[in-house]
Amino acid sequence: MTGFLRYTRWAVLPLALLLLLPLAAQNKKDDGKGITREQADEIIAELRAIRELLEKQSEKAAPAPAVTKLNLDGFQMLGSKDAPITVVEFTDYQCPFCRQFHTTTYAELKKNFIDTGKVRFYSRDLPLDSIHPDAVRAAQAARCAADQGQFWTMRDMMGANPGKLDLDSLVEDAKQLRMNVDTFRTCVQSQKYKEAVQTDVLEAMKIGAEATPTFVIGKSTPQGVEGELLVGAQPLTEFVKAFSRLEAAK
């Protein structure tokens, strides 16, 4: 699996603005300090990698469909299955922008919308292995944790620590969560869920989800969701706007 990004839809500068502005706004709202030096260095490195991919790729990506439909049977979900709105995150556990979403917006989204039964939240995988070598391992580790009923707790730990996704660190996380460590290690090393992760990547590319995090936000359907894409580590206000549009369209 190549797992590359098709960033030809955006030039580097617009993409930088798309991803950096919400980060700055969110951080300033939270602590008044803006983006830390460490976060800025990670973002700069990420944008450099994106630029390199742009230079190497000549194929033009087709525009994403106006409405995206996903079948979500069997995927990990938080919230009420009867919630009228569905949010699906395509994530990369080594992506600094995914960490930004996870450590800021996600907590408020969960508290105000998921836990209250208004929104159901699904997690899907989009490891960008050409620039994040540990991302595929982490995606498989989350599924191995799910075998022991610890998907969301493992997801939280990895999402907050994208720099600690080597096998030893993942095993240590499993130990802290009181999982069967031997079973977990064997699951990860055997790549039991390699094909499942690849299937997620292919579906993400099919619907136009090319950067991480990318969200599908829409009305819940019996099979999954029908909605539109939202790209980047967006602040809670952008999700609220999307929810309001869905409510108004009823």
Q: Looking at residue 52, what is its pLDDT? A: 65
Q: What's the average model confidence in pLDDT over 184-198?
A: 98
Length of the chain measured in residues: 250
Phi and psi dihedrals of 58, rounded to 5? -110, -15
**Average pLDDT, whole number, for the chain?**
84
pLDDT tens-digit map of 96-118? 999 999 999 999 999 999 999 99
Which amino acid belongs to residue 73?
D
Q: Residue 154, by phi and psi: left (phi above 0), alpha (psi -120 to 50) or beta? A: alpha
83 neighbors 99 (Cβ within 8 angstroms): no
| Helix %, strand %, coil % of the chain (to 5) | 50, 15, 35
Q: Check residues 2 and 187 and name the one with the higher pLDDT.
A: 187
- Can you give the residue ranges of every domain in the chain? 61-248
pLDDT above 90: residue 215: yes
pLDDT above 70: residue 32: no
3-class SS at 125?
A: strand
Q: Looking at residue 42, what is its pLDDT? A: 75
200 neighbors 211 (Cβ within 8 angstroms): no
pLDDT tens-digit map of 131-141? 999 999 999 99
pLDDT above 80: residue 66: no
pLDDT above 80: residue 45: no
The CATH code of the domain at 61-248 is: 3.40.30.10
